[in-house]
Structure 1
Amino acid sequence: MGLIQRPAPGRGVPCRWSSQFNVPPSALFVARPVGVCSMMKLPVQASAEGPDAALVSGSVPSSFSRPCCLPRFGPRQIRAESAMVRRYNASTGAAPFDSLRVADIGDVNVNLYNLPDSCRLIRESYQEIVASGCVPLTLGGDHTITYPILQAVAEKHGPVGLVHVDAHTDTGDRALGEKIYHGTPFRRCVEEGLLDCSRVVQIGVRGSSYEPDPYKYCRDQGFRVVLAEECWWKSLVPLMGEVRRQMGDKAVYISFDIDGLDPAYAPGTGTPEIAGLTPAQALEIIRGCKGMNIVGCDLVEVAPMYDVSGNTALLGANLLFEMLCVLPRVETM
């Protein structure tokens, strides 16, 4: 792993640094377009051995909600936009790179012609990541990937709590006869006992439906469903206080579908729904997860084809940074 340049303490000049920690290089000394296009320009390595947290992408070609929807290219665009993410979170005081070893460990190799086999490949890759003691932060890709990831996470930690931000509950049973696709991951997780249903919260849900009560399945399982209407024009800090108490000290997974946000802020996604959350509310949700026993995170459904300005991918990159900032053992400045 190469050495990273950073300013010497108390001085404005670069120096060579060989600490155990990796940090994003400063644009004051290294031009943003320079180097390998890794997440936050962090070092790239082939496995999860060594880091405390690993940025990894898993992407499968199963989104068919809009013609030619291509969320499988989302990780690539998120990585490109993440060059704008800096080292410190000046708003919260979090300094994740001062206390965690973080690296980009690349992409899971999937089978483009066989979705169940892709899920197997993702599950096996994440079993290795989780077994290494590394916390995975995943760049999607569509929401199908959360199912095999949670298979691997729950194998180690048991049924996990879930903070799920999304316009949709993703608890459908079938589409076109298939049981695995981006609208079914959390029903499959329930069926396999991967979730602690008393500790599942879904935030930002909204939109038209094919059923008169599209949230009945979730509520029957014991999920807390927070509709987007309940979030309009208000801070979500009080809600997240309740969520922290609900999650307790047991393992929690964060799954953030970018379509949870209003398409005015995040148009680059396959299944946009009007009247969604704001970026400020997204920050309140993620920052409100600080103190939870977070064992993994994902940011999914960025579709660059519909992201002309790049703002959706930039937003996704910043939300992943915010997730990194609330992991256990993150220091403050």
Structure 2
Amino acid sequence: MSSSETTPSDSVDSVPTPRGPVDSSRVPRYAGPATFARLPRIDETGGRADVAVVGVPFDTGVSYRPGARFGGNAVREASRLLRPYNPAQDAAPFALAQVADAGDIAVNPFDINEAVETVEEAAGSLLDTGARLMTLGGDHTIALPLLRAMARKHGPVALLHFDAHLDTWDTYFGAAYTHGTPFRRAVEEGLLDTSALSHVGTRGPLYGKRDLDDDAKMGFGIVTSADVMRRGVDEVTDQLRQRIGSRPLYVSVDIDVLDPAHAPGTGTPEAGGLTSRELLEILRGLSGCNLVSADLVEVAPAYDHAEITSVAASHTAYELTTLMTRQIAAARG
């Protein structure tokens, strides 16, 4: 019933042929389980994945509207419409490397500290298998434990952070772990290469000018949404690539980087954001960068009319996954 685009078999250099998504010409898109892009579960690939798509249904760290705990599954549902060939990157990502849905990391919704530890441990275990991660949140709190796992594997990583907000504040209500603090903690813990940090798409009011001063001291460069509008995608992408260089790169995307017209389903919307086209084009421009893993967070489907946000998020994850599979295939020759 669930015929795949490709089937497992041994190929050159003992790298199995990837098992691809369910064939939509034989099984309707609305039928069957909603794995990401209708790809196999990781248990269906023998526990092997070059890129593991994993959910973290957690939103205890939010400061305004809750609901991102349902984001991962909303993105999976919207991803039913993704197809196996990506013309924008001239690649069939699911044929280049094995991408599999690794399900969700079950975290404690009542204890943030325990949840952070659980995500770090689970992410580390997946990385130990050789997989790269495409993580579906969840709120932005989860970026900290993910970066801890990345730094243990790769050392301090370069970071591209797509977001309306800085997320380098110190605490909320005295709490050190929230969706507004992960990157300050990451800098403090030495998880990031502070010569290669960039926010993209920031905008909106702040608590004070000190927010920007503190952020700059941590090493972040800022490309605002207005910068993208005035300077254009190509110039911005070139600047980001120069800053990243060949360093191991982690990309973290808060869907509220998009304007509410393109992503209403999120917890802390801000006017004046990127279009979905601008975000996708910037990501495509990262081709050839050493992308080690990525996350996509803050999709809150309760506020998402007509699945606008979930569709944009599914395409964002698709572009990031394509970048990773292309890189894996190139490394294998």
Scaled by the length of structure 1, the TM-score of the pair is 0.92
- Residue equivalent to 2:218: 221
Q: Secondary structure at the match of 2:27?
A: coil
Alpha-carbon shift at residue 94 of structure 1 (Å): 1.7
* Pairing 1:131–2:128 present: yes
**Equivalent-residue separation in structure 2 for 1:48 and 1:259 (angstroms):** 36
Does the CA contact (< 8 Å) of 2:2 and 2:27 recur in 1? Answer: no
**Equivalent-residue separation in structure 1 for 2:114 and 2:285 (angstroms):** 36
- Residue equivalent to 1:251: 248
Q: Sequence identity, in percent?
A: 38
**Equivalent-residue separation in structure 2 for 1:17 and 1:227 (angstroms):** 44
- Residue equivalent to 1:11: none
Does the CA contact (< 8 Å) of 1:4 and 1:23 recur in 2? Answer: no
Does the CA contact (< 8 Å) of 2:60 and 2:109 recur in 1? Answer: no
**Equivalent-residue separation in structure 1 for 2:46 and 2:69 (angstroms):** 22
Q: Which has the higher helix share?
A: 2
- Residue equivalent to 1:17: 7
CA shift digits 1:112-137 (9 cap, x unpaired)? 11011000000000111111110000
- The 1:63/1:115 distance shift into structure 2, 3 A limit, reads closer
- Matched residue type, 1:174: T
CA shift digits 1:78-107 (9 cap, x unpaired)? 111100101011122022112101100000
**Equivalent-residue separation in structure 1 for 2:169 and 2:208 (angstroms):** 11
- The 1:174/1:261 distance shift into structure 2, 3 A limit, reads same
- Residue equivalent to 1:50: 48
- Residue equivalent to 1:60: 58
**Equivalent-residue separation in structure 2 for 1:218 and 1:119 (angstroms):** 23
- Matched residue type, 2:59: P
> 190, 194, 199: which is aligned to 1:193?
190
* Pairing 1:313–2:303 present: no
- Residue equivalent to 1:5: 4
Does the CA contact (< 8 Å) of 1:63 and 1:70 recur in 2? Answer: no
CA shift digits 1:56-82 (9 cap, x unpaired)? 011323244334x21000001111110
- Residue equivalent to 2:75: 78
Matches within 5 A, 1:183-332: 183-327=180-324, 328-330=327-329
Moved more, 152-161 or 232-241: 232-241
Does the CA contact (< 8 Å) of 2:42 and 2:49 recur in 1? Answer: no
Scaled by the length of structure 2, the TM-score of the pair is 0.92
* 5+ long unaligned stretches in structure 1: 7-15
- The 1:309/1:233 distance shift into structure 2, 3 A limit, reads farther
Does the CA contact (< 8 Å) of 1:95 and 1:330 recur in 2? Answer: no
**Equivalent-residue separation in structure 1 for 2:248 and 2:42 (angstroms):** 27
**Equivalent-residue separation in structure 2 for 1:42 and 1:34 (angstroms):** 13
* Pairing 1:41–2:61 present: no
Q: Secondary structure at the match of 1:66?
A: coil
CA shift digits 1:203-247 (9 cap, x unpaired)? 011111111342211211221111222122552112211221221
Q: Secondary structure at the match of 1:231?
A: helix
Alpha-carbon shift at residue 4 of structure 1 (Å): 3.7
Does the CA contact (< 8 Å) of 1:166 and 1:259 recur in 2? Answer: yes
Does the CA contact (< 8 Å) of 1:48 and 1:134 recur in 2? Answer: no
- Residue equivalent to 1:10: none
**Equivalent-residue separation in structure 2 for 1:135 and 1:54 (angstroms):** 6
CA shift digits 1:282-305 (9 cap, x unpaired)? 012211211111111011000001
Moved more, 37-46 or 231-240: 231-240
Does the CA contact (< 8 Å) of 1:87 and 1:97 recur in 2? Answer: yes
CA shift digits 1:155-184 (9 cap, x unpaired)? 010000001100001001010110100000
Aligned pair count?
A: 320
**Equivalent-residue separation in structure 2 for 1:153 and 1:233 (angstroms):** 34
- Matched residue type, 1:58: V
Moved more, 229-238 or 266-275: 229-238
* 5+ long unaligned stretches in structure 2: 10-16
Q: Secondary structure at the match of 1:17?
A: coil
- Matched residue type, 2:127: V
Q: Secondary structure at the match of 2:4?
A: strand
User: RMSD of the TM alignment (CA)?
Assistant: 1.8
